[in-house]
Amino acid sequence: MKIEDIFKKEFIIQELAAKTKRDVLLELSTAFLRGPYAFDGDRVVEVLLNREKLGSTGIGDGIAIPHGKLEGLTDLVLAFGRSSGGIDFQAMDGRPVHLFFLLMAPENSEGQYLKALAKISRMLKDASFRKRLMDAATAAEIYRIVTDKDRDD
């Protein structure tokens, strides 16, 4: 599983405007509209919030990996957003979340979906990787940091 196959520069939000969980999910999902995807952002948010009811995708250390499956989607897609101030995402450690990776998958994809989640999670265990993402000045730099890490893993 190569992250760069599902992650595009257009899907990066350098500084999220959102201040709530719902707004973060909506802002991240609308990033996909910059690509060839045409789906309802509110529907994506509904899917993601239903997933959040099972347990927060805020995994701690300032990270959240919201994810879900969407009818009509044909490929895995991955967006990234950063919040310098942090957002209350009901993370497992109770701390604000700064780094968000939003993964959406077709309804019938199981293997690739789980591989992508595992890969993103593994990459984010690296504290220096997280710091580089926080310090990056541009979307292009964020993209390079992620794809370089993807190749190294």
% of the chain residues with pLDDT over 90: 76
Q: Provide mean pLDDT across the span 64-87.
A: 93
Give pLDDT, residue 152: 84
CATH architecture classification, 3-152: 3-Layer(aba) Sandwich (3.40)
Rounded distance between C-alpha atoms, residue 52 and residue 57, angstroms: 6
Q: Phi-psi category of 4—alpha, beta or left, where left has phi over 0 and alpha has psi -120 to 50?
A: alpha
| Nearest in space to 79 (alpha carbons), one of 125, 136, 135, 37 | 37
Give pLDDT, residue 99: 98
Residue 57 has pLDDT above 80, yes or no: yes
Any idea which residues carry the catalytic annotation?
Answer: 67
Where exactly are the structural domains of the chain? 3-152
DSSP percent split of the chain into helix, strand, coil, nearest 5: 45, 25, 35
What would the pLDDT profile of 76-106 be if each residue is shown by its tens digit? 999 999 999 999 999 999 999 999 999 999 9
What would the pLDDT profile of 28-50 be if each residue is shown by its tens digit? 998 877 766 667 778 889 999 99
Rounded distance between C-alpha atoms, residue 79 and residue 31, angstroms: 7
Give pLDDT, residue 9: 93
Tokens linked to 14: 């350098």
End-to-end CA distance of the chain: 11
Mean pLDDT of all residues in the chain?
92
